[in-house]
Amino acid sequence: MERITIDPITRLEGHGKIEIFLNEEGDVKNAYLQIPELRGFEQFSIGRPAEEMPRITNRICGVCPEAHHMAATKALDALFDIDPAPVVKKLRELFYSAFYVTDHTVHFYALGGPDFVLGPDSNPAERNILGVIHKVGVDIGIQVIECRKRNHEVIKMLGGRGVHPVAGLPGGWSKSLTKEERDTILDFSQKNIDFALFSLKIFDDIVLANQAYVDLIVSDAFTHKTYYMGTVDDKNQINFYDGLIRVVGPEGKELVKYPSKDYAQHIAERVEPWSYLKFPYLKDVGWNGFVDGVDSGVYCATPLSRLNAADGMATPKAQEHYERFYETLGSQKTAGLYAPVHHRLATHWARLVELLYAAERMQELANDPEILDPNVRPIVTNTPTEGVGSVEAPRGTLTHHYKTDENGILTDVNLIVGTTNNNAPIAMSIKKAAEGLIKGGVVSEGLLNTIEMAFRNYDPCMSCATHSLPGQMPLEVQIKDAEGNLIGTQSQYID
């Protein structure tokens, strides 16, 4: 059996490799996504004081430590049975919104954007952030750097540090906001809104105005009909910080809506011997293999799925763009609600809609007079037992579950991490893309990039750079016969 290995997968957080097997005709028989790493946070957190978890679980991911910090802090709220004061929730959500702005910005410009702004078949030398700059203007790179800079300043202001924040406490936050800080954040939030609208305009001008790209987005190779998960408020609008977890089916029908403490009733995880990463699926539907459809418990948790799982956005400009998103992609409206969009590449657009929402939300919260209340650090006296906390990480619903003894020392920990939710759908997307492109054993240059695009729209947990892709993606694909003899190579930019 012929075999193609792509190792390592690059431009994601962590390590991964893809193994593709061809049948006798040279068509794709199967493709496997292997994650070769494990650190074991669930085990070594046992014996640690629970209040240390916001700072320990930060280190699960240095790109989205804010997400783990927040999920952990909310788990502590539940553990100690405290409902935080309104100022605490607002301060946390303000911090979290700044994080969303910087994180989504970087993914669009450095990872997802180049494929669209320049096109999947464009010259690979140009297909990176530098090419984006050439196409849309040299100010772009500086704007992206400035966006990251100001939002990381907010993260540091509120969380203590630019990476791996520390301020989360059970029922509280370790520092309050001063008036000067609030005014700075207000100013930044307007700049963020302008930047989000600008980014959406780029998407309009460069992607939506180009029929070839639109065809790509709606093509079958990149379409999967699965369940979609997201967190919603009491109006079924997206909220990244808090709400109920909602899952809708491929036709848009709500399957279930539950508080995070019930997560174990709805999610189960499978193990395959060829990957260290587990495969979550919906218990309410059951596991039916790596397949699409209403009978398959495979679900995804991405910006696209959040938009699909919600009925709308909670801020006005984002809501406008939400509607435009569904209308443009031809979604049928029934009883005032849009049917889900299944085109995975549309996730890049959904991400920009969320970027706008995060910026508007930041402004709303900064304008709230309660945000200056200094009473953010309560004294906690309850005896801890067990608690679950969840947030929407940019890459998916993130759940932390802690059990402790009466001294608050952890006795058990379970975590369902953002990208983990998407392990099965990512694998399916890779396989479908490979099937569509490799025929008769012929490996084309388009394959190399398309496999990456199939992976990339999920924003696998490593967003990066304001620039610095060489444009020439050196990649070598080896084709071996059943005895392992090399019979052909396809490579680009390897001397």
Partner 1 sequence: MTGNGKPKLAMYWASSCGGCEISVLNIHENILTVDEVFEIVFFPCIADFKIKDLESYPDGYIDLCLFNGAIRNSENEEMAHLLRKKSKVLVAFGSCAYEGCIPALSNLTTKEATFNKVYIDNPTIDNPDGIFPQLVSKVDEGDLFLPNFYHTVKSLDQVIDVDYYIPGCPPEPHQIWAVLQVVVGALTEGLPLPPAGAILGAGTTALCEECSREKHEKTIKRFYRPYEIQPDPDQCLLEQGIICLGIATRAGCGALCPSVGIGCRGCYGPPDGVEDQGAKMLSAIASVLDVGDESMEEDKLEELIQEAVDTIADPVGTFYRFSMAHSILKRVKNGKGAV
* Strand 410-416, strand 2-6: pairing: unpaired
Site for partner 1 in 46-75 (CB under 8 A): 46-49, 51-52, 55-56, 59-63, 65
Q: Does 167 bind partner 1 (CB under 8 A)?
A: yes
**Least separation, in Å, of the C-beta of 183 and partner 1?**
19
Q: Give me 37's structure tokens.
A: 């790493």
Check residue 486 for interaction with partner 1 (CB under 8 A).
no
Find the binder of partner 1 among 122, 223, 472, 490 (CB under 8 A). Answer: 472
Tokens of 55: 């700072």
Candidate ranges 229-237, 317-325, 326-334, 372-380; the one touching partner 1 (CB under 8 A):
372-380
Looking at residues 199 to 228 of the shown chain, list those that interact with partner 1 (rule: CB under 8 A).
Answer: none
Contact window for partner 1 (CB under 8 A) among 140-148, 186-194, 224-232, 313-321: 140-148
**Least distance to partner 1 from the beta carbon of 363, Å?**
23
Binding flag, residue 468, partner 1 (CB under 8 A):
yes
Specify which residues 389 forms β-bridges with.
400
- Which of the ranges 84-92, 207-215, 260-268, 339-347 carries the binding residues for partner 1, by CB under 8 A? 260-268
Q: In this chain, which of 179, 379, 485, 486 binds partner 1, going by CB under 8 A?
A: 379
Name 110's Cβ contacts closer than 8 Å, sequence gap at least 6: 128, 129, 144, 463, 464, 465, 466, 467, 469
Asked whether position 421 contacts partner 1 by CB under 8 A, the answer is: no
How many Å apart are CA 347 and CA 306, to the nearest integer?
Answer: 10
Q: Which of 186, 221, 291, 473 binds partner 1 (CB under 8 A)?
A: 473
Give the span between the Cα atoms of 344 and 454, in whole angstroms: 8
φ/ψ region of 442 (left if φ > 0, alpha if ψ in -120 to 50, else beta) reads beta
CA distance 126 to 115: 10
240 scored as a contact of partner 1 (CB under 8 A): no
Which residue number, 34 or 305, has a Cβ lying nearer to partner 1?
A: 34
- Pairing of the two strands 386-393 and 337-338: unpaired
Q: Is 490 in the site for partner 1 (CB under 8 A)?
A: no
Judged by CB under 8 A, the stretch of 37-45, 198-206, 217-225, 227-235 that binds partner 1 is 37-45
Residue 137 as a binder of partner 1 (CB under 8 A): the answer is no
Candidates 41, 73, 9; CA nearest to 416 is 41
Interacting residue with partner 1 among 160, 252, 293, 436 (CB under 8 A): 160
Is residue 408 at the binding interface for partner 1, with CB under 8 A as the rule?
Answer: yes
Looking only at residues 303 through 362 of this chain, which bind partner 1 when binding is defined by CB under 8 A? none
Structure token digits, residue 389: 């906390």
Site string for partner 1, 422-461 (x = CB under 8 A): ------------------------------x--------x
In angstroms, give the least distance from the CB of 24 to partner 1.
12
Which of 211, 188, 201 minimizes the C-alpha distance to 97? 188
The first and second tokens of residue 424, run together, are: 């099965």
- The residue among 80 and 213 lying less far from partner 1, judged by its C-beta, is 80
Q: Which of 208, 268, 291, 337 binds partner 1 (CB under 8 A)?
A: 268
Burial environment of residue 135 by CB neighbours within 10 A (0 to 12, 13 to 18, 19 or more): middle
Among 123, 183, 235, 274, binds partner 1 (CB under 8 A): 274
Q: Are 473 and 448 in contact (CB under 8 A)?
A: yes
- Regarding 171 and contact with partner 1 (CB under 8 A), the answer is yes
Distance in Å, CB of 268 to partner 1, minimum: 4
Number of CB atoms found within 10 A of residue 155's CB: 21
**194 vs 476 by CB, closer to partner 1:** 476
Q: Count residues near partner 1 (CB under 8 A).
A: 107
Q: How far is the CB of 121 from partner 1 (least distance, A)?
A: 17
By CB under 8 A, residue 253 contacts partner 1: no
Contact mark string toward partner 1, 10..29, x via CB under 8 A: xx-xxx---x-x-------x
Q: Which two tokens stand for residue 118?
A: 């320049």
Dihedral class, residue 396 (left if φ above 0, else alpha if ψ from -120 to 50, else beta)? left
Query: CB of residue 287 vs partner 1: minimum separation in angstroms?
Result: 7
User: What element of type H or E holds 418?
Assistant: helix 418-421
Structure tokens belonging to residue 349: 């657009």
The yes or no reply on residue 107 touching partner 1 (CB under 8 A) is no
Could you count the other beta carbons within 10 Å of the beta carbon of residue 447?
22
C-beta atoms surrounding 294 within 10 Å:
13
Residue 218 vs 287, nearer CB to partner 1: 287
Pairing of strands 168-169, 172-173: antiparallel
**Nearer of residues 324 and 467 to partner 1, judged by Cβ:** 467
For residue 228, is it left (φ>0), alpha (ψ between -120 and 50) or beta?
beta
Q: Is 70 exposed, middle or buried (0-12, 13-18, 19+ CB in 10 A)?
A: buried
Binding region for partner 1 (CB under 8 A) out of 35-43, 221-229, 329-337, 344-352? 35-43
What's the order of all strands across the beta sheet hosting 410-416?
A: 386-393, 396-404, 410-416
Residue 261 as a binder of partner 1 (CB under 8 A): the answer is no
